[in-house]
Amino acid sequence: MLERIFASSLIAVFVATGMHTPSQASTVAKPSVLLTKLKVQAETGSNTYKRSYFKLWIDADHNGCNTREEVLIAEGITTVPIGAGCAIRTGRWTSAYDVQSITVARSLDIDHMVPLHEAWVSGARYWNASTRQSYANDLGYPHSLIAVSASTNRSKGDKDPNNWMPPSAAFACQYVGRWVAVKYRWSLSVDPAEKSFLTTKLKACGSKANVAMPVKMKIG
């Protein structure tokens, strides 16, 4: 139910703001198949990572709302009150990671499904600044960014699924499915332990892990 609300709300935001509505939303992807297409290699480059290499929360379509605000609007269970300058203070959201009902916007973090550090050590260190900015603000695929409770986002940190999974077991299959889909979209690699865990988990999940088909991004 949450995924349907999010997908329909996000498409409404794209229409309202003139942004591109993802045509892939109607096509189902099997993450187990996408996983076989990912390069497997050890993570490297952790010591060179800086969060500042990924410019966050831009207003890509110049409508006055930045990426964080766009996600909050899209994921609102009810219409989100928007103040001057797209200020968002209250609303109603459900944090998929722990099924918390949240009504205060500052209690939510916008999580990158695949964290910035994880992206860096999986290939983003070779990207140019423009591509890293696009990754950090990816509103073109509904599973790249998600509004979740600040506590779960900070618990997750930069861990991959073999080291952290959401407390909500009901979201586990979607979580690994979305993780793989985002890595596929951005041509990111997986390390051997990560690949092993995801393979096992996706096999157990079956169709419960299926997600909207991601469009591959051009990497610069």
- Residue 161 near residue 198, CB atoms below 8 Å: yes
The answer to whether the beta carbons of residues 61 and 18 sit under 8 Å apart is yes
CB-count exposure of residue 70 (10 Å: 0-12, 13-18, 19+): buried
Nearest to 137 by CA among 51, 25, 217, 59: 59
Q: DSSP label at 140?
A: S
Look over the chain and give the mean of its residue pLDDT values, rounded to a whole number. Answer: 91
Question: Does residue 26 have a pLDDT over 80?
Answer: no
pLDDT > 50? residue 167: yes
Lowest mean pLDDT among 7-11, 79-83, 128-132: 7-11
Q: H-helix or E-strand containing 67?
A: helix 67-75
* 15 has pLDDT over 80: no
77-106 pLDDT, tens digit each: 999 999 999 999 999 999 999 999 999 999
> CA nearest 179: which of 23, 45, 38?
38
| Spatial separation of the C-alpha atoms in residues 181 and 178, rounded to whole Å | 5
pLDDT bin (cut points 50, 70, 90) of residue 195 is very high
Going by C-alpha positions, the residue among 113, 126, 84 that lies closest to residue 171 is: 113
Distance CA 120, CA 32 (A): 23
